[in-house]
């Protein structure tokens, strides 16, 4: 069960990052304010856009937003009727995106949190869904090695392994750094990219749990340069 909780915690885990839209900035503001109670509103907004455009980019963005919203619900409102709704929606998004040339490999990274969320929502299935979750994250690395999602999710696996089994956090750190480098190379490390900010956050956490507090603070400071309004960072710094 600890492994499942760890996966869920760090998978808080958007298509083409492309030019950031108004909804990206609103999502990021909500994320840094830790105010995700009504993210179904954003999902509904993206659903309306998808119905108009049938754009795979919009559908992938919706899938990633569902991903974080599910993590929030499973930790904070486990009796919410939205859990079943969003799990079903995420599963369908993944299934449809696997049939598109643009996202068939990239979306593999989202299978891992989807399976972990399903296991937590129905613990009797954990015995087979949890190994499938680990396998999906590893497959994403081999199939889409130039996707930041693949490396971020694989970093989450390595983080969990070090946290609960013991050992070095170096593998998690390297994976998060790879994900961040891929985002930054595309010029997409913006203050309206919550996925980028979240990956920075867990790079800092990996340094912190590995007792490298100076490096953790360097990453926390980088986050504050990007989003000076991320007030919670001041509490987490050492």
H-helix or E-strand containing 104? Answer: none
| pLDDT at residue 141 is higher than 60 | yes
What's the pLDDT score for residue 6? 57
Q: What is the pLDDT of residue 4?
A: 44
What pLDDT is attached to residue 1?
A: 46
Q: What is the pLDDT of residue 162?
A: 86
**What's the pLDDT at 20?**
57
18 has pLDDT over 80: no
DSSP helix, strand, coil percent of the chain (3-state; round to 5)? 75, 0, 25
Work out the burial of residue 149: count CB atoms within 10 Å of its CB; fewer than 13 is exposed, 13-18 middle, 19 or more buried.
Answer: buried
pLDDT band at 15 (very low <50, low <70, confident <90, very high): very low
What is the C-alpha to C-alpha distance for residues 152 and 179, in angstroms, rounded to an integer?
5
∠ CA 125-130-204, nearest 5°, is 140
CA 163 to chain centre: 18
Q: How many distinct structural domains can be found in the chain?
A: 1
Model pLDDT, residue 161? 80
Mean pLDDT on 27-48: 94
Contact 180, 189 (CB under 8 A): yes
Q: Look at residue 30 and tell me whether its pLDDT is greater than 90.
A: yes
Backbone angles phi, psi at 55, to 5 degrees: -80, 125
Query: Which carries the bigger pLDDT value, residue 159 or residue 55?
Result: 55
What is the tens place of the pLDDT at every residue in 158-216?
Answer: 887 888 778 789 999 999 999 999 999 999 989 999 999 999 999 999 999 999 999 99
Q: At what angle do helices 56-76 and 82-97 cross, to 10 degrees?
A: 150
Count each helix (H run) and each strand (E run) in the chain, helices first.
Answer: 12, 0
Full domain range(s) for residue 148:
2-236
Q: How big is the CA angle at 226 (ends 221 and 228), to the nearest 5 degrees?
A: 75
- Which CATH number do you get for residue 227? 1.25.40.10
Q: Look at residue 19 in the predicted model and tell me its pLDDT.
A: 44
Confidence of residue 7 (pLDDT cuts 50, 70, 90): very low
> Using an 8 Å Cβ cutoff, are 203 and 219 in contact?
yes
Which region among 10-14, 80-84, 133-137 has the lowest average model confidence (pLDDT)? 10-14
CA-based Rg of the chain, rounded to a whole angstrom? 17
């Amino acid at each position: 069960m600890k492994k499942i909780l760890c996966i869920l915690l760090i998978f808080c885990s958007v298509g083409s990052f492309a030019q950031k839209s108004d909804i990206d900035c609103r999502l990021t503001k909500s994320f840094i304010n830790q105010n995700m109670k009504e993210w179904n509103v954003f999902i509904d907004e993206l659903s309306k856009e998808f119905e108009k455009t049938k754009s795979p980019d919009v559908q992938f963005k919706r899938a990633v937003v569902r991903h974080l919203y599910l993590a929030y619900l499973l930790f904070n409102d486990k009796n919410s009727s939205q859990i079943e709704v969003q799990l079903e929606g995420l599963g369908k998004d993944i299934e449809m995106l696997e049939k598109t040339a643009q996202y068939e490999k990239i979306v593999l990274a989202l299978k891992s949190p989807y399976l972990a969320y399903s296991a937590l929502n129905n613990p009797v299935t954990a015995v087979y869904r949890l190994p499938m979750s680990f396998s999906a994250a590893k497959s994403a690395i081999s199939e889409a090695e130039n996707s930041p999602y693949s490396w971020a999710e694989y970093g989450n696996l390595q983080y969990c392994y070090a946290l609960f089994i013991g050992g070095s956090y170096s593998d998690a750190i390297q994976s998060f750094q790879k994900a961040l480098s891929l985002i930054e190379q595309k010029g997409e490390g913006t203050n309206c990219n919550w996925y980028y900010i979240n990956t920075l956050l867990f790079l800092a956490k990996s340094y912190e749990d590995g007792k490298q507090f100076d490096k953790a603070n360097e990453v926390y400071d980088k986050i504050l340069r990007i989003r000076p309004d991320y007030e919670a960072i001041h509490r987490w710094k050492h």
